[in-house]
Chain A
């Protein structure tokens, strides 16, 4: 029963959502809307579960004084601090929570992502090697798109943006569409396997 009940819940939930698309009767819509509301609440709890797990794992590292345990104190302190600030004093503009969002969270996340600019340039120089005709095609397209999509490309050649748009709207589009269709078929088959219980990895071990 430990596996059968979840499989039944999964099947009923999924089939009901599929049915609500094909049967737009108000009784079905009302129940599906109620199920939507429940799902929103449960998914929010799932997010909190993830954070609680982060706290638990890092707390164990601090207890055992494992590698980088001092940094984990900073991690857990930041986590607890933001939770208490947000729940205790609110999250609106003007609160301390909001101040920490704009002056700590925002700059750090933005900077983390901006590091990628340096690494992509380094990768372009050190690893982008044209060894075959296919990789040459990739490189030529990359260069045409990179230069054509910026204003300087239009100054080098007036029709550069038109060439870039043609690449994006025709050959590039055809391949992306093929990937999209293939991925859609895969997603549908995986969804059906999950609903019918053929795919059970989400249940974990016994």
Chain B
């Protein structure tokens, strides 16, 4: 009797190889797998939203008679706002969907202002206020480099003034620091992509073909 687990491994392996076939060239097998993936992932998301948001956060509380009606009624508002989003499909009343979009955009704008303001702006500037003279020469050197690097990189991004003379030379130093950071990012990106391939090859050789020690 073939177990569902074994069938599953073979289905996974075949789909993996169909996607890998793109490396040779674009072909109908890859296109089939690509479209199947898009459909399955979209459908998966809807089922998750239904079970994890719609039922526990909206439908069940609305129908729960143990909760006072006064506490349940406000839930109709997000329900209506959610349904209004679907008016986008009907041209004559599509302007109603702007209300729901405005609510989402407004909330995220407010959250972003506070988050970026405190987390990325204030705390990051504070973290870079470092003593340039300490009792360890390496710490002093590193702190100096951090300060110079931050200031020159910020100066590079100031495009309201032409990068000429002393200002241009400072911006040029900033470019060097930026190039170092892009190089580091490239190195880490290579690491990340290779890891993903290692994972799939490990599955094909280890779980499917079972030829890994």
Contact with B along A113-149 (1 / 0, CB 8 A): 1111110100010000000001101111111111001
The answer to whether B142 and A170 have CB atoms under 8 Å apart is: yes
B contact patch SS:
helix
Query: Is A156 close to B, CB under 8 A?
Result: no
- The answer to the question of B11 belonging to the interface, with a C-beta cut-off of 8 Å to chain A, is yes
User: Residue B70 at the A interface, CB < 8 A?
Assistant: no
Q: Which of B35, B82, B109, B149 contacts A195 (CB 8 A)?
A: B109
Contact with B along A183-206 (1 / 0, CB 8 A): 111011011101100000011100
Interface residues on B, range: 35 or more
Q: Give the residues in chain B near A3, CB-CB below 8 Å.
A: 98
How distant is A95 from chain B, measured CB to nearest CB, in Å? 10
26 contacts between A and B (CB under 8 A): A5-B99, A6-B101, A13-B102, A40-B53, A42-B85, A51-B46, A75-B35, A82-B43, A97-B47, A103-B15, A104-B36, A107-B11, A114-B199, A124-B190, A141-B184, A145-B184, A170-B142, A172-B181, A174-B145, A174-B153, A175-B180, A177-B153, A178-B149, A187-B113, A187-B120, A202-B102
Task: Give chain A nearest CB distance to B84 CB in angstroms.
Answer: 9
CA distance A91 to B153 in the complex (A): 49
Smallest beta-carbon distance B24→chain A, Å: 11
C-alpha spacing A15/B89, complex, angstroms: 30
State the interface size on chain A (CB cutoff 8 A).
122
Within 8 A of A (CB), among B1-59: 4, 7-9, 11-13, 15-16, 19-20, 22-23, 31-51, 53-54, 57-58
Main secondary structure of the interface of A (DSSP, over half): helix
Q: Is A107 in contact with B203, judged by CB distance below 8 angstroms?
A: yes
Docked CA distance A141–B203 (Å): 32
The answer to whether the Cβ of A83 comes within 8 Å of any Cβ in the partner chain is yes
B75 contact set on A, CB distance < 8 A: 41
- B188 and A145 contacting across the interface, CB-CB below 8 Å: yes
- B134, CB-defined interface residue at 8 Å: no
Q: Give, as a whole number of angstroms, the nearest-CB distance from B85 to chain A.
A: 5
Separation of A2 and B124 alpha carbons in the complex (Å) = 41
